[in-house]
Amino acid sequence: MRKTLLAAAIAVVGATIVVPAASAAPNTLSWGPCPAGAFPTPDLQCTTMKVPLDYGDPGGKAIDVAVSRLPSKNPAKRRGVLLTNPGGPGGGGLDYPQLLKYVKLPQDVLDAYDIVGFDPRGVAHSTPVTCDLTPEQIAVGNLPYAKGPADVVKQAQLAKAEAKQCADAKTGSMLPYVTTANTARDMDRIRAALGESTVSYLGASYGTYLGAVYTSLFPERSDRFVLDSSLGPGGYDIEAMRGFARGMEDRFPDFAKFAAAHPEYGLGRTSAQVTAKFYELATRLDRNPVEGITGSVFRGLTFEGLYSTDLAPLAADWQGLEQGRAPKPPAEPVTGVENLLASRFAVICGDSAWPRSIASYQLDVAIDRVRYPMLGAAGANIAACAYWAPPAEPRVRITGRGPANVLMVQNERDPGTPLSGARKLRAAFGDRARLITIDQGGHGAYLFGPNTCGNTLVTGFLVNGQRPGDTHCAAES
Question: Per-residue confidence at 8, pLDDT binned at 50, 70, 90?
Answer: very low
443 labelled catalytic: yes
Residue 282: pLDDT band (50, 70, 90) is: very high
Peptide bond between residue 52 and the one before it cis (omega within 30 degrees of 0): no
Q: Is 205 a catalytic residue?
A: yes
Report pLDDT digits (tens) over 46-81. 999 999 999 999 999 999 999 999 999 999 999 999
Question: Taking residues 134-141, what's their average pLDDT?
Answer: 83
Q: What is the mean pLDDT of the chain?
A: 92
b/e sequence 295-329, b meaning 16+ C-beta within 10 Å:
bbbbbbbbbbbbbbeebeebbebbbbbbeeeebee
CA atoms lying within 13 Å on the CB side of residue 432: 24
Sign of the CA dihedral with 85 first, then 88, 90, and 95 last:
negative
Percent of the chain with pLDDT over 70: 92
Q: Which pLDDT tens digit goes with each residue over 166-185?
A: 999 999 999 999 999 999 99
Q: Parallel, antiparallel, or unpaired for β 199-204 and 80-85?
A: parallel
Q: Per-residue pLDDT averaged across 401-420, rounded?
A: 98
Predicted structure pTM score: 0.93
Worst-scoring range by mean pLDDT, 7-11, 201-205, 219-223, 470-474? 7-11
Question: Residue 136: pLDDT band by 50, 70, 90 thresholds?
Answer: confident
Catalytic residue, from 119, 230, 317, 443: name it: 443
* pLDDT reported for residue 41: 74
Verify whether residue 125 is a known catalytic residue.
no
Q: List the catalytic residue out of 200, 205, 230, 352.
A: 205
d(CA 92, CA 204): 13
Of 445, 410, 443, 139, which Cα lies nearest the Cα of 304? 443
